[in-house]
Amino acid sequence: MNTSAMIQELKTRLARHTAVTVLTGAGISADSGVPTFRGQDGLWNNYRPEELASPEAFDRDPRLVWEWYNWRRNLIRNCQPNPAHYALVDLERRGGTFRIITQNVDGLHTLAGSQRVSEIHGNIWKVRCTRCGRTAVNREVPIAILPHCSHCQGLLRPHIVWFGESLDPVDLQQSHDALRQCELLLIIGTSGVVYPAASFGSVAKEHGAFVAELNRDPTPHSDLVDMAIHGSAQDLVPQLLA
């Protein structure tokens, strides 16, 4: 089946199904110019992400970790949602049971207008107090280093799920509920190698969903899903709602 025929079949299924779940990864953000956090320049070339994105790193040197996150925030501060993000907003507005599960931390889905989003890896534009646990949006670039909570003066950290940390149980429950209940799962812009998201396609299929992968290149799961379409997210996703 060629790309046009697969797009048409997905359009038909989207028109027929009322329970849709979407899993997104770095590929949809790449179309908005969001770079990988594995930087190529200067100081950060001397560090592996695992050395900076961890509770141990923050305990050891919170200033260094915040400088890295400030650099990352500066890289993406002007990135805007692309046509794929906006097409998913339109899909949500059709009604029915809908949820986006995203591995991205750039906040572009909510910026585009999506309401039912589970940011399972956190959000780089949110901060969390290490003392009282309050979470808040903070889009300051540069952010004051070191930032402190306006309520209790505790040290703030990025609201990111770091290496060695568990996913938020509420986000995880929302994701599993959406995967078990959906009739159609769209996997967009992710290679599916990072767990637990790597297992989400299998979970949906086990509960009877049709699983379609839209990705620029084949992935380890391309032969396991019901349909795999290759291309950029910003080109393919809007066609599903055209």
Q: What is the pLDDT of residues 50-104, one digit of tens each?
A: 889 999 999 999 999 999 999 999 999 999 999 999 999 999 999 999 999 999 9
Cα torsion 20, 24, 28, 29: sign: positive
Residues 184 and 234 in one domain: yes
Give residue 50's pLDDT.
80
Give residue 37's pLDDT.
57
Give residue 49's pLDDT.
79
Give per-residue pLDDT as tens, 36-51: 655 454 556 677 778 8
Give residue 196's pLDDT.
86
Q: Which of 160, 180, 213 is the last residue of a domain?
A: 160
Task: Give every residue of the chain whose pLDDT is below 70, as ranges.
Answer: 36-45
Residue 176 known to be catalytic? no
Give residue 42's pLDDT.
53
User: HEC string of 207-234?
Assistant: CCCEEEEEECCCCCCCCCCCEEEECCHH
Catalytic residue from among 85, 109, 121, 221: 121
Residues 134 and 150 in one domain: yes
Task: Kindly provide the residue ranges of all beta strands, DSSP E only, lying in 30-145, ordered along the sequence.
Answer: 97-102, 117-119, 122-129, 135-137
Query: What is the C-alpha separation between 137 and 65, in angstroms, rounded?
Result: 18
Q: For position 135, which CATH number holds?
A: 3.30.1600.10
Of residues 87, 102, 107, the one with CA closest to residue 25 = 102
Q: Which of 108, 141, 160 is the last residue of a domain?
A: 160
Number of domains in the chain: 2
